[in-house]
C-alpha cells in the first residue's frame, strides 16, 4: 500500500466516499485518487513522490499552471495583511475593472464564492428582473448543485423536469423546463409554448460538462431571437469557458449575446470565486440597489480577489490566448493523426484551451444523448494507461481536459506519444 492508498482508506472513514466532491473518488475509472503534495507549472507531485503532467488544472481555474510566481507572490502579500474583513477591499475593484473591461456597454459585476452560487444568483436575478418564474435549461449542461438546477428531463423531448438528485423536492423544479441541445425545432416550440411565463434560458456558453458539446451557431442565434421576442433573458454560464476560449468571452461572439454572464474558475485564479455580470440596468436589481437579495460573508474577500486579479493581469499581458490556441491546435492535430494511424473511431473536440476526446465517435457529439455510453469503458483503460505514463487526465470520460500556459510543445508531444499507447490498449 502506498501513501495515497493509505490516505484514501483513512479518508473513507471520515468523509462520504472519502472525498469532498464526487468525481474525485475515481469511481468512473477505478483505482485510488491521486493526492497531490505540490504543484508547479504543468506538473503535480503526489504524496508518493510521483510526478504527473496535469491536464485537470484544478478543473479549469489554473490557466497559468500551478503556483504561478506572480499570483503566489501577490496572494502571499494579501494573506500577510489579513484573510477576510467582511468589508469592501481594493482588490475587488481591480478584479471588477478587469472583468468588466471585456464586457459591452455599461456593466456591473457581483462576486460570490463558487460557480454554483453565481448561477443560482443569476437565475434569481433573471426571475426578479422579468417578474416571471419559468427557466429553461438543457440536458447535458451542468450549472452547479443548487436545488432547482439538479433537474433532468421528464418523459418527453422538451418538458418540465424532475429532480435529478435525492433531497430535491419536486416543487423546487416545477418551473424548470428541460430542453434538448441541438434541436432547434423542439426548443423553439417549447419556448414559444411557455411564452410570457419564460424568465430565462440558461445554457453553458459551450456545454462542457458532458463532453464538449459545441453547438451550431444557428441554434444559439435562435435562442437569442426567440428569447428577445418573448421578453426573456439569456443567462450564459461561462463558469468553465470564461477566459479559456479566446477574448472576449465566447458567448459574446457565438450568437448568444447574454443578458447575464456567470463566471467562476479562472476568475478566481485557483481560489473560491464566482461572478455574475451584466448590464447596469439588469445588475441594479440586486440588493442593495434593487429588490433581488444576495449576500455572502466571504464574498469579495481580498485573497480570492487578489488571486483572480493577478491571474487576469498575467493573461492580459502575456498574449496567453494565442499561446493556448497554438498548444491546443498541436494537441488536436496530433490526436487526429493518431486516430488515422490506428484506424479507430475517435475524435478530439476542442475550444481554445479546453479539449475532450470523444471515443467510439466518428464526429464530435453535439448532445449528451449522442455520447456512446460504452466508450466510457475505453476511457477507463486509457485513463489508467495515461496515469501509469505520468499523465493526469480527469477521472471520468465525460470530463474535459484543460491546458495551461505552463504546458509546452514538448509536453504535448509526450502526451501524444502516451495517448497512442493508451488508445491502442483501449481499443485492443
Ligand X SMILES: Cc1ncc(COP(=O)(O)O)c(C=O)c1O
CB of 114 to ligand X, least distance (A): 4
Residue closest to ligand X when measured from CB atoms: 115
Pick the catalytic residue from 55, 137, 265, 360.
265
Nearer of residues 399 and 411 to ligand X, judged by Cβ? 399
> For residue 182, which of 414, 363, 12, 1 has the smallest C-alpha distance?
363
Interface with ligand X (CB under 6 A), residue from 36, 41, 115, 397: 115
Q: Is-cis flag, bond preceding 248, omega within 30?
A: yes
Kindly tell me which of 35 and 59 has the beta carbon lying closer to ligand X. 59
Which residues within the stretch 239-258 sit at the binding site for ligand X (CB under 6 A)?
239-240
Q: Active site residue: 46, 54, 142, 259, which one? A: 142
Strands 198-204 and 176-179: unpaired
C-alpha cell at 50: 510521483
Q: Does 260 help bind ligand X (rule: CB under 6 A)?
A: no
Binding positions for ligand X, 46-65, rule CB under 6 A: 59
Answer yes or no: 265 catalytic: yes
Active site residue 293: no
Q: Contacts with ligand X in 138-197 (CB under 6 A)?
A: 142-144
Residue 209 is a binding residue for ligand X (CB under 6 A): yes
Distance CA 170, CA 167 (A): 9
Query: Binding marks (x or -) toward ligand X, 67..106, rule CB under 6 A?
Result: ----------------------------------------
Query: Which CB atom, from 234 or from 338, has the smaller least distance to ligand X?
Result: 234
Residue 238 Cβ, how far from ligand X at the closest point, in Å? 7
Nearer to ligand X, 120 or 346 (CB): 120
Cβ contacts of 54 within 8 Å, gap of 6 or more: 39, 42, 43, 44, 66, 392
With the CA atoms of 212, 249, 264 and 188 taken in that order, what torsion angle do they form, in degrees rounded to the nearest 10?
Answer: -60
Q: How far is the CB of 81 from ligand X (least distance, A)?
A: 26
When asked if residue 124 is in the footprint of ligand X (CB under 6 A), the reply is no
String marking each residue 6-45 x if it binds ligand X according to CB under 6 A = ----------------------------------------
- The one segment of 12-20, 31-39, 82-90, 108-116 that binds ligand X by CB under 6 A: 108-116
Min CB(189)–ligand X separation in Å: 26
Is residue 377 part of the annotated active site? The answer reads no
- Interface with ligand X, residue 111, by CB under 6 A: no
Catalytic residue among 175, 237, 360, 411: 237
Q: Which residues bind ligand X (CB under 6 A)?
A: 59, 114-116, 119, 142-144, 204, 209, 237, 239-240, 264, 274
Active-site residue set: 142, 237, 265
Amino acid at each position: 500500500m502506498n501513501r495515497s492508498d493509505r490516505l484514501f482508506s483513512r479518508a473513507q472513514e471520515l468523509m462520504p466516499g472519502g472525498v469532498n466532491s464526487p468525481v474525485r473518488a475515481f469511481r468512473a475509472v477505478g483505482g485510488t485518487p491521486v493526492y497531490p503534495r505540490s504543484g508547479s507549472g504543468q506538473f503535480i507531485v503526489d504524496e508518493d513522490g510521483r510526478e504527473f503532467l496535469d491536464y485537470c488544472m484544478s478543473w479549469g481555474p489554473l490557466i497559468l499552471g500551478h503556483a504561478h510566481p506572480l499570483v503566489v507572490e501577490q496572494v502571499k502579500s494579501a494573506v500577510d495583511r489579513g484573510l477576510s474583513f467582511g468589508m469592501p477591499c481594493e482588490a475587488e475593484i481591480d478584479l471588477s475593472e478587469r472583468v468588466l473591461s471585456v464586457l459591452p456597454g455599461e456593466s456591473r459585476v457581483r462576486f460570490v464564492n463558487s460557480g454554483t452560487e453565481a448561477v443560482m444568483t443569476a437565475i434569481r436575478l433573471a426571475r426578479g428582473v422579468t417578474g416571471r418564474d419559468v427557466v429553461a435549461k438543457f440536458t447535458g449542461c451542468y450549472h452547479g448543485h443548487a436545488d432547482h438546477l439538479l433537474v433532468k428531463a421528464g418523459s418527453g423531448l422538451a418538458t418540465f423536469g424532475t429532480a435529478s438528485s435525492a433531497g430535491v423536492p419536486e416543487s423546487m423544479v416545477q418551473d424548470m423546463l428541460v430542453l434538448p441541445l441541438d434541436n432547434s425545432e423542439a426548443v423553439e416550440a417549447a419556448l414559444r409554448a411557455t411564452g410570457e411565463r419564460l424568465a430565462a434560458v440558461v445554457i453553458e456558453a459551450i456545454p462542457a460538462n458532458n463532453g464538449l458539446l459545441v453547438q451550431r451557431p444557428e441554434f444559439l442565434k435562435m435562442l437569442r431571437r426567440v428569447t428577445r421576442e418573448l421578453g426573456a433573458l439569456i443567462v450564459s454560464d461561462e463558469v468553465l469557458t470564461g477566459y479559456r476560449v479566446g477574448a472576449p468571452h465566447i458567448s459574446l461572439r457565438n450568437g448568444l449575446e447574454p443578458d447575464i454572464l456567470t463566471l467562476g474558475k479562472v476568475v478566481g485564479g485557483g481560489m473560491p470565486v464566482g461572478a455574475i455580470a451584466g448590464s447596469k440596468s439588469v445588475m441594479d436589481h440586486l440588493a442593495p440597489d434593487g429588490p433581488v437579495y444576495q449576500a455572502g460573508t466571504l464574498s469579495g474577500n481580498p485573497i480570492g480577489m487578489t488571486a483572480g486579479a493577478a491571474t487576469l493581469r498575467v493573461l492580459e499581458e502575456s498574449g496567453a490566448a494565442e499561446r493556448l490556441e497554438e498548444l491546443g491546435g498541436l494537441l488536436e492535430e496530433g490526436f487526429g493523426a493518431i486516430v488515422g494511424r490506428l484506424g479507430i473511431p475517435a475524435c478530439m473536440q476542442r475550444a481554445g484551451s479546453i479539449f475532450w476526446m470523444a471515443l467510439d465517435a466518428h464526429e464530435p457529439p453535439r448532445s449528451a444523448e449522442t455520447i456512446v455510453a460504452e466508450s466510457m469503458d475505453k476511457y477507463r483503460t486509457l485513463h489508467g494507461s495515461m496515469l501509469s505514463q505520468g499523465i493526469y487526465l480527469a477521472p471520468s470520460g465525460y470530463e474535459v481536459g484543460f491546458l495551461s500556459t505552463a504546458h509546452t510543445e514538448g509536453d504535448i508531444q509526450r502526451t501524444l506519444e502516451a495517448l497512442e499507447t493508451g488508445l491502442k490498449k483501449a481499443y485492443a
